[in-house]
Structure formats: C-alpha cells, structure tokens
Chain A
Amino acid sequence: DGGITQSPKYLFRKEGQNVTLSCEQNLNHDAMYWYRQDPGQGLRLIYYSQIVNDFQKGDIAEGYSVSREKKESFPLTVTSAQKNPTAFYLCASSSLGQGAVEQFFGPGTRLTVL
C-alpha cells in the first residue's frame, strides 16, 4: 500500500533540545518537501529536495535542518535555534515535473515545546 508515513504523530520537546521528525515514502517519488502549518497561516515550505544528497531551503528554513541520504527518506530536525517550534509539520512528496504535479501528504506530526 503506497503512501507517506510520518512519525511520531505527537512529539513533545523541552526548550533547548533538538528533535528529529521522520518522513518515509514508498511512492518512488524523486521530490520531497517539509511544510509547517500554524492556525490561519496555511502551509509554509521549510525545505525541499529533488534528488538524493541535495536539498534547498524554502521560505522558513531558519532553525531547521534536513538530510536526504535515501530516496525514500527525508528527516527534518528542529533545532534549538528555532524560536517558536510548536506547530503541525507535514511531509509531502511528488514526482518531478514543471509545476504540473500534485504533492502527496503524510498524516503530519504535531510538535509541542514544553
């Protein structure tokens, strides 16, 4: 059954700690994305990757880091430098195109900083 999995569903972190959110896809997609969602703000792009071992910053990359060592995996680390990390994080993937491709989304991870 193809799709995107994110773990954990809920994550709690103390201030000053780094935390890594997992994203795995078995859709054989080349591109993967991380979004942050806050109430009333829509989705904002954090990082994206179109090929293994390469990734680019999105609109709000400060305080976040990613890696793309495998095609199916794109973990996101929320570092202690992120000033307001409490949010809902969504991972997505797509095939490569020229803007005419849909993105498929995982179920999300809700991160709460205590």
Chain B
Amino acid sequence: AQSVTQPDIHITVSEGASLELRCNYSYGATPYLFWYVQSPGQGLQLLLKYFSGDTLVQGIKGFEAEFKRSQSSFNLRKPSVHWSDAAEYFCAVGRGDDKIIFGKGTRLHILP
C-alpha cells in the first residue's frame, strides 16, 4: 500500500538558517510527489511537485525538493528561512487515480 512518512513532527530553525524537511514514500510505480504548506487555520498551498524528469524541483517561496528514487525520498529544502516560513508542511504522493496520500506533517518553528 502507498504511504508517506514525515519523520519529524516538529523542527525548529533560526531565521536565516538552512532548512531540510524529510519525506519518505512507499509506492510501487513512478510516484507523483507534492509538497504543500499550511498556515494556521488555513487551507493548503502547493509549494512544488514532481512528476518526471529533472529530479531537482524548484517551487515557490524559494523552496526546492530533490527526488531520490534509490532512497524513496523527496526532501524539501530552503537555503535561508524567513520568519514567515513558520507553518506546517505536508509531503504527499499521488496514487494514480486522482487521489493523494498525505503525510502527517512537519510543523516548522522559526527562532528570531
């Protein structure tokens, strides 16, 4: 069965520091992978997506993610975080039938 694991429930980084959020997936075929961000009390916004091709994907707000098939990972990175990046981040995998499986999320805290 398809699944998505985000090992870190909470991550705290200082403003200006680099960020990496981990995501591992389980899927038998070529995965369709997504990262979404959610501010408190709001809906989800798509940061980036991977369908095929270049394994390094650029997204909005300065985020990028790298697909590594050998490690079944799709980690999200940002070189320098801003206080406005504090939010919850969800990794997700498309199931091939228009449905998406979401991880349980990683809440990012930013220290001033």
- Chain A interfacial positions (CB closer than 8 Å to B): 4, 6, 31, 33, 40-43, 45, 48, 50, 58, 88, 90, 92, 94, 96-108, 110
Contact = CB atoms under 8 A, between A and B. Distances in A.
B13 interface: no
A37 to B, nearest CB: 9
Given A42-B90, A42-B103, A107-B42, A102 B98 contact: no
B111 interface: no
Contacts of B49: 102
Nearest to A45: B99
Interface string B97-112: 1111011110000000
Interface string B75-100: 00000000000000010001111111
A101 B104 contact: no
Interface string B17-49: 000000000000000101010000111111001
Contacts of B90: 42-43
Interface of B is mostly: loop
A28 to B, nearest CB: 16
A96 B105 contact: no
Nearest to A95: B98
Contact of A99 (B43, B98, B104): B98
